[in-house]
Amino acid sequence: MGEKRLVIEGKRPLQGTVQISGSKNSAVALIPAALLATGPSILENVPNIRDVKVFCEILRELGADIQHYPEEKRLVIRPNGFSSYRAPYEQVKRLRASYYLLGALLARFGRAEVALPGGCDIGIRPIDQHLKGFRSLGAEASLEHGIVKLSAKKMTGTQVYLDLVSVGATVNIMLAAVLAEGTTVIENAAKEPHIVDLANYLNAMGAKVQGAGTDVIRVRGVTSLQGCTHTIIPDDIEAGTYMLACVSAGGDLTVENVIPKHLDSICAKIVEMGAQVCDKGDSVRVISEHRPKAVTAKTLPYPGFPTDLQQPLVAVAARADGVSVIQETIYDNRFGYVNELIRMGASIKVDGRTAIVEGMPTLYGAPVHANDLRAGAALVIAGLGAEGETSVYRMEHVERGYDSMLDKLQAVGASVSIEEA
Ligand code: EPU
């Protein structure tokens, strides 16, 4: 299969309703969690994205029995035949979230050997806090030839204070602690909605997890977990992406099947940009009739403005009235896509972790390259608001995390098509 590009004819207002899929970042935490049970789990509202397919392939290669029914948005995971505690580089390199196998395999087998993963190139992404958690629980941890090796004779509940708020470390320590003896307390834990989703899933399996959604999570170890059925929460980042697409292109768009509370920080920014936002219970409507206004924003752990929408926000700011100042505090190198926006006529200066965006009245369509998932989303958003034709190359990156983006955009009036070279 050749390279895919999305061809966009800009300046078509978005009108109608977009159904939001299940959360990517929740799905990739829940899939390895299913390996901890003695029986099968059914996950519902699973997004049909490449990261999910790749994770299923990795687990099948390691011996798990997984059926994926994309039409029904369902995964059936039977963990019984799963017997390998090793996940080599060839398998995990395609997926950053494969590091959740560390916590899951450690809990299940008392040992894990998982190669350091790949994923989006958005800065240094160490896992020291994950290892600190595993070690506190009683595991020995080492890095040998690119492989993280963990082993524990016994895992015992402990207190872990995270030096920084890390989604991945919080998930991994929760996974490792659910079957440990005694109580584990994770302090300075991440509060993202998918942490709560993971806790709800684990509790439905018989775990005793309290406090998820606050910065102190208590995990009381149990001796076994059963499989269960669980519905994955809606993807707040996908919802935010379409809301920002509406601000960029103009229009009247409703994102449906969302939890509006998860979108508070995004709604606030969109209102500051001059668009109208209405919370309608399980949907949010955005009406954008004028050129957006400039904003200041700073990415922060939840409930702050999410780093995963920093790139889409800058894409809107590029056409806003005034100078926007957008600060990235989570990653040290998440502005790589800015050069592509500049090709479209944007005026953006990056100083360390801050982008200073002088809004232009018009962006002009151009061929641009998506170098990672959210960068790709940002370029699509810029193309929807630009004059003329934009081709976003390397849409494969976008398909990692966005379910049916082409169909969803076409259904609300965007002029978009996929071409394969
Ligand atoms: N960090 C450390 N040490 C650690 C762990 C993290 O220094 O042991 C640093 C990271 O380098 C980063 C910051 O802490 O600077 C936050 O990292 P975090 O661990 O929270 O991120 P993650 O678990 O690797 C998840 C999402 C990302 C999302 C971040 C922040 C998944 C699979 N990935 O990554 O999603 O940006 O949380 O919300 O859940 C995306 O969807 O595009 C994406 C990159």
From 124-138, 289-303, 317-331, 351-365, the region with the lowest mean pLDDT: 124-138
The rounded distance, in Å, linking the Cα atoms of 238 and 86 is: 32
Q: What is the pTM of this model?
A: 0.97
What average pLDDT does the chain have?
95
Judge if the beta carbon of residue 400 lies within 6 A of ligand 1: no
The CA 249 to ligand 1 mean position distance, Å, reads: 30
Tell me how far the alpha carbon of residue 229 lies from the centroid of ligand 1, in angstroms: 27
End-to-end CA distance of the chain: 8
Q: Which fold has domain 24-227?
A: UDP-n-acetylglucosamine1-carboxyvinyl-transferase; Chain (3.65.10)
- The two domains 4-21+234-420 and 24-227 share their CATH topology (first three levels equal): yes
Name the one residue in this structure whose structure tokens are 């998918």.
194
Q: What is the mean pLDDT of residues 305-317?
A: 98
Question: CA-CA distance, 217 to 89, in Å (whole number)?
Answer: 32
CATH dotted code for 4-21+234-420 = 3.65.10.10
Q: Which is the closest atom of ligand 1 to the Cα of 127?
A: 8
The verdict on the CB of residue 164 being under 6 Å from ligand 1 is yes
Q: Report pLDDT digits (tens) over 174-227.
A: 999 999 999 999 999 999 999 999 999 999 999 999 999 999 999 999 999 999
**Distance separating alpha carbons of residues 396 and 171, to the nearest angstrom:** 27
Distance CA 146, CA 370 (A): 28
Q: Per-residue pLDDT tens for 101-114?
A: 999 999 999 999 99
Rounded Cα distance, 388 and 34, in Å: 47
Domain ranges of the chain: 4-21+234-420, 24-227
